[in-house]
Amino acid sequence: MSYNCLNILKWTEAQLKYTYDVSLQEATPQELHEALGEAVMMAISDNWNRSKRTRMHERKAYYFSAEYLIGRLVYSNLYNLGILDDMKKLFAERGVDLAILEDVEDAALGNGGLGRLAACFLDSAATCNLPLSGYGLRYRFGLFKQKFDAEGNQCEAADDWTKYGDPWSYRRYNHTVKVHFADHDVLAVPYDVPVIGYGTDNINTLRLWQCEAVEELDFNAFNDQDYLRALAQKNKAEDITRVLYPNDSTWEGKRLRIKQQYLLSSASLQDMIRVYKNAHGNDMTHFADFYAVQLNDTHPAMSIPELIRLLMLEGMDFEQSFDIAQKTFSYTNHTVMGEALEKWNLDLLRSVVPEIVDIICRIDAKLKSEHPNLFIIRDNTAHMANLSVYVGSYVNGVAEIHSQILKDDCFKEWYQVFPERFQNKTNGVTPRRWIGLCNPELSRMIHYRVGSDFMKDLDRLAKLKPMIDDDMVHQFNTIKRQKKEQLCAIIAKKEGIQLNPDFVFDVQVKRLHEYKRQLMNALSIVDIYFRLKDGELPYFQPTAFIFGAKSAPGYARAKAIIRYINRIAKMINNDPAVSDKLKVVFVQNYNCSYAEHIIPAADISEQISPAGTEASGTGNMKLMLNGAVTLGTMDGANVEITKEAGIENEYIFGATVDQINSCRDTYCSRDIYNSNRYLHRAIDTLVDGTVPTDDDQRELYHALLDGASWHRPDHYFVLLDYASYMDAKLQANHDYSNRLEFGRKCLMNIASGAKFSSDRTIRQYADEIWHIKPTQY
Ligand code: 26W
């Protein structure tokens, strides 16, 4: 079915008229967004309902995730419906530029990679006609908004993303379920978001739970004029889905977090059981024949004991229920960092969800009777990753090297007992958002060369390889230059900094974490700055270094790194001696929408974690697909990117996993500091007053050279990799001067990017883990 754009326009106008009493031309961006959203929701309703009905009796998969970083939906929905350009044209004819919707909030119900991956997977499954539904949480406040103050500090503000409404979901109160906690019962109210496939009528569903009180208002308390008490239950319930935890990769054992996780688990499973009974009757023994559940990290791992509990309520015994749970669940690991592994103190857990603890104990007893060397509970603590390996069909890592590390290190003992459970599923990204939508200019160029709809079949990119010639490179370079101009305009407006589109754009965008080594990048920039001032780099190609990152609000070192980068940026940008060579900008509030502007404009993609620390990375893939070369280590998916594109088309540096492991015990960062005068000088700017210095920055200095009580010196090997990093960085910079050769490398990256479509990833999950098939439409 094709969609009637004129109808959508008319409905939009009608909505505007009767809800806001404004015309198309008078509407604010937010009003227009609401009205257009509602009109599109009407237009898709038939297909959405049909997609649900068709699947009723089929085997299906469910993605359980505490995070979905879906970003702005209006453009991607119109794009996937195939009507974005037509709608733009219709609006333009009426004097309205759809670009005003850029002012609309992002839906940032996720922190970073793990949440964005979930969103890409949903897009791919819908596009590939795969029966995959998402379950998640509808946080009242998403990931905080970030600003920098005059000193360069990160300041956080609440992200009230539904302030003007949320046209992309329907509240389905009739499917509300009750969830029981030790201290209160609450309601989980579902909000359904359509997941619109590209080039198909198929529309899947993302169901997000919002926590509400069973009793909105205590009338007796109200009558006693005790208004706080009257609302106490309401607030206590709503607190559970009030806010997304902004900790990316550090784990905190918080009561409210248990409640979030259990709410997601229990509500989703109750919902699945209701649907199961509708389709297949009350005999639960075939549950695992019809449903597969993927756990996005251990955040929803309480689903395992919860399913066992619910099945036992249906009359099954423990062994039978265990068996079904084991067949139903699979678990994806997203990090090897110890501090991110979830482990709950049993007393804390028992005080919130006592029934769940009883079942975890039974599971642990069963495990220990079968395999005395393995454990889920140790020292009165439940290890959720172990639970997920034991009671699941498959465990997977998210890039080849990461999956290998899981077998060799993290789950070594488990791999010996259950080798057949371990798999790899290298991550991917949806080409619709990360090429089609964010880079229409490049898409047109590719489309013209490889024909057909490569958006649905990214393998066609490989056809570019033999075609790469000077003409194509010129065309690519022209497009890249256009994307840089567009980004310059945005950065000028948002940050008040004027960049020159003739500069090399060297980009590092990702969450701020020590292991991602934004500090190493910063030190190299300071080093380059000093050398330029000393006239040592005469052929240096003018470069703009662009950072985007949010730090967890309580992560002092990460905040100190942000402050340091902002301060060196200020120093460098204000120094006329280098103004024609060097610019540094740390954009504020990096999010999905900002990424869609930065990524297409990048020449160089910084992926510089020490080998063995970044599980996969997905920004690396987005940058590759937009024709940036990778300046990176042999870590995560960089390894596979390099394999696909050829090492001669990337800038790879640094120690390998084996090299790092073999030097770990004898490593002395201070020796390197003392022997590399450039690095020495750069590191000293952390403490010598070159830029305004504070205690936290001094602490960074000591962390690099002396260590701290909880970490050895330079835990992430900044000094170890520094020299080879600088060599690779200067080599890339030098190579840029040959615009034809450099452009060729960029094109080789694009032409080699097919593997990194999340369509490929999701089909592998469907075939090798979930055993589901596409539904024909
Ligand atoms: C419990 C606190 C917490 C929160 C988030 C612990 C761990 C996480 C995630 C594991 C963090 C995350 O987003 N990991 C990223 O997942 C991406 C998708 O697989 C990978 O590409 C990134 O390499 C990985 O860091």
| pLDDT tens digits along 707-722 | 988 889 999 999 999 9
**Cβ contacts of residue 583 below 8 Å, gap of 6+?**
497, 499, 500, 503, 543, 544, 545, 572, 573
Residue nearest to atom 9 of ligand 1 (CA): 249
Q: Annotated catalytic, 543?
A: no
User: Could you confirm whether 334 is annotated as catalytic?
Assistant: yes
The span from the CA of 27 to the CA of 25, in Å, is 6
Annotated catalytic, 510? yes
Does 331 have pLDDT greater than 70? yes
> Which of 63, 111, 251, 334 to probe ligand 1 with, by most ligand atoms within 8 A of CB?
334
Respond yes or no: is residue 622 known to be catalytic: yes
Could you identify the atom of ligand 1 that is nearest to the CA of residue 298?
1
CA of 249 to the centre of ligand 1 (A): 6
Which atom in ligand 1 lies closest to the alpha carbon of residue 342?
Answer: 1
For the beta sheet containing 604-607, the strands, ordered from the edge strand earlier in sequence to the opposite edge, are 582-587, 543-548, 504-509, 604-607, 629-632, 651-652
Indicate if the pLDDT at residue 43 is higher than 80. yes
Cβ–ligand 1 distance for 340 under 6 Å, the answer yes
Tell me what the mean pLDDT of segment 131-144 comes to. 98
Share of the chain above pLDDT 90, in %: 96
Name the catalytic one among 299, 421, 622, 755.
622
298, 618, 642, 693: the active-site residue? 618
Q: Is 334 close to ligand 1, i.e. is its CB under 6 Å away?
A: yes
Mean pLDDT of 465-480: 98
Q: Is residue 381 flagged as an active site residue?
A: no
In this prediction, residues 501-516 reach a mean pLDDT of 98
pLDDT in tens, 534-591: 999 999 999 999 999 999 999 999 999 999 999 999 999 999 999 999 999 999 999 9
What are the pLDDT digits (tens) for 623-672?
A: 999 999 999 999 999 999 999 999 999 999 999 999 999 999 999 999 99
Model confidence at 452, pLDDT cuts 50, 70, 90, reads: confident
Q: Is the CB of 113 under 6 A from ligand 1?
A: yes
Residue identified by tokens 């610019």 is 583
Confidence of residue 227 (pLDDT cuts 50, 70, 90): confident
Residues in Cβ contact with 178 at an 8 Å cutoff, skipping those fewer than 6 apart: 185, 186, 187, 188, 214
Among 121, 137, 245, 249, the mutation site with the greatest number of ligand 1 atoms within 8 A of its Cβ is 249
pLDDT at 768: 98
> Residue of the nearest CA to atom 22 in ligand 1?
617
Q: What pLDDT, on the 0 to 100 scale, is given for residue 739?
A: 98
**Closest ligand 1 atom, CA of 111?**
13
Of 67, 69, 114, the one to substitute when testing ligand 1's pocket (max ligand atoms within 8 A of C-beta) is 114
pLDDT at residue 577, as a whole number: 98
Say yes or no to pLDDT of 1 above 70: no
Looking at residues 442-468, what average pLDDT do you find?
Answer: 96
> Which pLDDT score is estimated for 219?
85
pTM: 0.98
Please state the rounded mean pLDDT for residues 526-540.
Answer: 98
Length of the chain: 777
581 is catalytic: no
Q: Which of 115, 136, 109 is nearest to 271 (CA)?
A: 136
Residue with tokens 């009905």: 53
Stretch 457-482: mean pLDDT: 98
The tokens for 282 are 């009350």
Task: Round to the nearest angstrom and report the end-to-end CA distance of the chain.
Answer: 11
| CA pair distance 616, 632, nearest whole angstrom | 12
Q: How many helices (H) and strands (E) does the chain have?
A: 31, 21
pLDDT averaged over every residue in the chain: 97
Query: Which residue's CA is the closest to the ligand 1 atom numbered 10?
Result: 334
